Amino acid sequence: MQSSNHDSAFTVRLADPDVRKGETGMGSPGRGFAMRRRNRHGRGLRGELILPTHPGYRTRSDRFDDMVLDSAQRLHDIWGKTLDGVRFAVDEIPPQLEQLVADAAPPPMGAYTPATAEEGPVITLYRRVVEQGCATREELQDLVHDVVVEHTAEMLGVAPETLDPVYRRRY
């Protein structure tokens, strides 16, 4: 609605155009509880809390995924077409972790699943298990690469040292 001043650039708008005059925000049928409580009086978040250029924008999970992709890309650059069709996956924890803990067996850091008729081979890393084996980000990056190399070597049937010249068993 326009104000009564002569300045036509000044306008007055309701914060929520669905709320009609005479209705209270608490009982209006078009607004849910979360919207009323979260964005009270139009004072909600105005933008992202952390900008994409800041280090805190990416989660640990995102950074771990990038480490796995970097290691897989490095191996692909070395071996080329041999690794075409191989999928690299990340899971939080290994399946049947409770049973492994009950048996006092160490949890695996990764797994290799052979190719089936429907899909190609899959190399899976278990993020939480790998993260617990490291104290620093550099150690984590090295361990991720070692796990990728070991399971790729298992898939190809070669020794990990021949797959990547900088590989050395760290765990």
What are the pLDDT digits (tens) for 46-58? 666 777 777 777 7
Spatial contact of 162 and 168, defined as CB atoms under 8 Å apart: no
What are the pLDDT digits (tens) for 86-143? 899 999 989 988 888 888 888 899 999 998 888 888 999 999 999 998 888 889 999 9
User: What phi, psi does 88 have (nearest 5°)?
Assistant: -110, 125
The pTM of the full predicted model, rounded to 2 decimals, is 0.67
Q: Is 74 exposed, middle or buried (0-12, 13-18, 19+ CB in 10 A)?
A: middle
Residue 144 has a pLDDT of 92
Q: What percent of the chain has pLDDT over 70?
A: 70
Residue 47 has a pLDDT of 61
